[in-house]
Amino acid sequence: MRLRLKPRSLGQVARAEEMKVSTAFVQESRPAREHSSYHLGFVQWPAGTTALAFEIWVALAVSLYAAFALELNSAASAGTGLLILVGPTQGMVLSKAAYRILGTLFGAVFAIIVTSLFSQDRTMLIAVFSVYMACLVAIGTLLRDFRAYGCILAGYTVALISITDVDAPTAAFTAMLDRVAVILLAVLVLAFVSAIFATAQSAHSLQSKLRLATKDIVAMAFATLDQRLPPDPSQCVAMSARLMPLRSEISFATPELLDGWARAKGARSALLGLFEAISAIQAVGLGLRNTSAASTIVEEAISIMRAAIVARRPEKWLAHIDAFTDRAMKGEALSIDEAYVLDRCKFMIEVFRDIRDGLLSNRIGRLPRRSVRLAVHQDYIAAVLNGFRIGLAAGIVGLLAVLSGLPGANLMIVGTIVFVALGSVLHDPLAMGRAALLMTPAVIITGTIYDFLIFPNISDYPLFIISLSPVVTMTCWLIKTGKGPMGIFYGVQSISLLSPANVQTLDPTVFVDTAAFLVAGSICIFFSLLLIVPVDPALRRLRLALAVGRDLRRALADENRLDQPRASLHYDRLSQFSSWRHGEPVTRARLNVMRRLSDLGNLSLAVRRSWRALDQAKAAVDPVIDARARQFLPTLSPVELLDLSRAYLAAAAGLDRSKRLDLIHAAAALYGTAVLTTSEMRLLRRLKLVRYQLARELKP
């Protein structure tokens, strides 16, 4: 017999609220038309390219003028330092600049130490530097974003100071001072110019993307409620792959505004809520699939959830869902599958409470109701391999340079180290190798035109700096069109080849030698990234799958249960797994693999949720039932878990409201674990995670 609620006002209010706010939701969902790019003939010109190029060019003009006025020995480094800081937005530029200062200072100190220890032994100097660089690249692989760039900069700053002056160790201290002075000059000038042209582009873009993602998540939830089926795993993975880059954009947007740190906390809370919403939608769909379509309780819960997730303040509906659950339990008509749907609907409302709160915090700059950390997958094996690659490449190229005995060979070492290190922390390291090969001819042509045709006909600074604007524009255009490695390589190597100085002299022999070492360095970069520990997508996917399995085993052992929430970690693994299949044909077998990984990750989250629910309900349940639940949960026995979920639901009758809700939550958590276990029983048996024999031994 189904429960028939006498007061129908709650459902009617929910549906009325749903119709009212959903209309506003649809109207707000219409994206504003904005120009993302223009077409100049056959060339695509992304919006913002002109502004970025002008900003970087102004910073370059001020930096070089100051370096020339101060008569710094490495004035050209002001140009290369600026162009290596170029990013599509102001926030990216400022974030990279901050880590550049830290990396430069750390590298400068280490350069003095290593030079003083091995001033007479070039081989040992290069060997120690190779190990040092390998360690920093390994750390940078784990840090991601521009924190990784800071580690790499701390590495190749040593190359620019110690390796470049390997034949004149007494000049290392002077080179260190010049290097630090030039970098600080470039960063400060860039920060000043960025402040003048400040548009908070990253902050506005982040807000827009979070709002749009929220609307798409709501649409996914509505589709699940309408179809009464969980969304396809590939749809969830695609959404997570779209959300995960926002984690980096949060750090880019932080330095653009004075209250950026508070806005960043709100953005993290909202982003984690979006990941949790994907899991909640899957759980609600799973519950609806196993529930009778004629359930009045389920229909009422759906109406409440529909109204809540599109409301500006979803938290006001939490009292409604709790009151409805309590009345349903009092009516003794609540089945375990209905209890599961009610519990997951409540969790969905809680998730959207955090999402709306985070969005508001990010928009107005106040602290959110929760402060969270977005956990991500760390591939320690990949970090070690990346470190080994750069260490071996630096050692081989350094040894070849030492054996050649040519004074200009140091340039080949520095170039190889810089770009192999930068490429190693990219998702596709070979992209930097291809950029080196493709852009080297353009760099040499640019250097030839400037050194032999333009610079000899220029005698004052204004014309000199104006003549460099095409190089800056080309660099910014490549970066804005998504060809970041090519843009960075072209800009940095072009300025390095031109070597702007107070007195610009032309020596054809020196130019030819430098161009030859540039070609040799580019070849070394490509083959270092191609042949030395090449990236194997299949092994990357295997390590991700093993990590999902390890996380489930730890969840079953109740390890790190307080390290919550972990939804971002789960979806980071899925998005990485999907990215490492890029270019492969989509087959049923590959879709099944993705579905199983998604189910295992959701099962891990469900097990951790069950442990917490058992702790929460421990004081309200019979100790015998609590002991049996703690014995059987690690065995993943679906029959026992279903029986225990019904036992918890039955024990909720007759208790006060707070204890009753705790027991219903524990019953729903155990039920969800049992259902997910049943769906992947074959895989769990092959992984030896389902222990029926242990379950029989523990059964009283």
pLDDT in tens, 130-149: 899 999 999 988 887 777 87
pLDDT in tens, 493-551: 898 888 887 777 778 888 888 888 888 889 989 998 888 888 888 899 999 999 999 99
Both tokens of residue 194? 């960025």
Same domain as 301, residue 195? no
Same domain as 135, residue 178? yes
Both tokens of residue 243? 């959300």
Same domain as 349, residue 441? no
Dihedral sign from CA coordinates of 195, 196, 200, 202: negative
Classify residue 447: in a domain, yes or no: yes
Same domain as 427, residue 329? no
Same domain as 355, residue 298? yes
- For residue 675, give every residue at least 6 positions away whose Cβ sits within 8 Å of its Cβ, in sequence order, or none: 286, 290, 340, 638
Classify residue 111: in a domain, yes or no: yes
3-state secondary structure 257-304: CCCHHHHHHHHHHHHHHHHHHHHHHHHHHHHHHCCCCCCHHHHHHHHH
H and E: helices and strands count for the chain: 29, 2
Both tokens of residue 607? 């097990």
Same domain as 510, residue 470? yes
Same domain as 396, residue 300? no
CB atoms within 10 A of CB 471: 22
Classify residue 36: in a domain, yes or no: no
Same domain as 465, residue 613? no
Cα pseudo-dihedral 648, 654, 659, 662, rounded to 10: 30
Give residue for tokens 């032999």: 452
Query: If DSSP codes are grouped into helix, strand and coil, which group holds residue 222?
Result: helix
Classify residue 412: in a domain, yes or no: yes
Same domain as 405, residue 323? no
Q: Is the pTM of this model over 0.75?
A: yes
The dihedrals phi and psi of 219, each to the nearest 5 degrees, come to: -60, -40
Domain count, the chain: 3
Classify residue 211: in a domain, yes or no: no
Q: How far apart are CA 102 and CA 104, in angstroms?
A: 6
The predicted model gives 248-266 an average pLDDT of 85
Q: How far apart are CA 311 and CA 387, in angstroms?
A: 49
Q: For residue 625, what are the domain limits?
A: 537-698
The predicted model gives 363-385 an average pLDDT of 91
Q: How far apart are CA 525 and CA 541, in angstroms?
A: 26
Strand partners for 520: none
Q: Which of 531, 546, 564 is the last residue of a domain?
A: 531
pLDDT in tens, 442-501: 999 999 999 999 988 888 889 999 999 999 999 999 988 888 889 989 998 898 888 887
Strand partners for 44: 39
Classify residue 571: in a domain, yes or no: yes
Whether the per-residue pLDDT at 3 is higher than 60: the answer is no
Q: 374: left (phi > 0), else alpha (psi -120 to 50), else beta?
A: beta
Same domain as 331, residue 394? no
Q: What's the pLDDT at 155?
A: 83
Q: In the predicted model, what is the mean pLDDT of the chain?
A: 83
Same domain as 388, residue 418? yes
Same domain as 602, residue 486? no
Classify residue 170: in a domain, yes or no: yes
pLDDT in tens, 329-362: 877 678 899 999 999 999 999 999 999 999 999 9
Q: What's the pLDDT at 667?
A: 94
Classify residue 344: in a domain, yes or no: yes
Q: Which of 364, 388, 419 is the last residue of a domain?
A: 364
Q: Which of 501, 531, 561 is the last residue of a domain?
A: 531
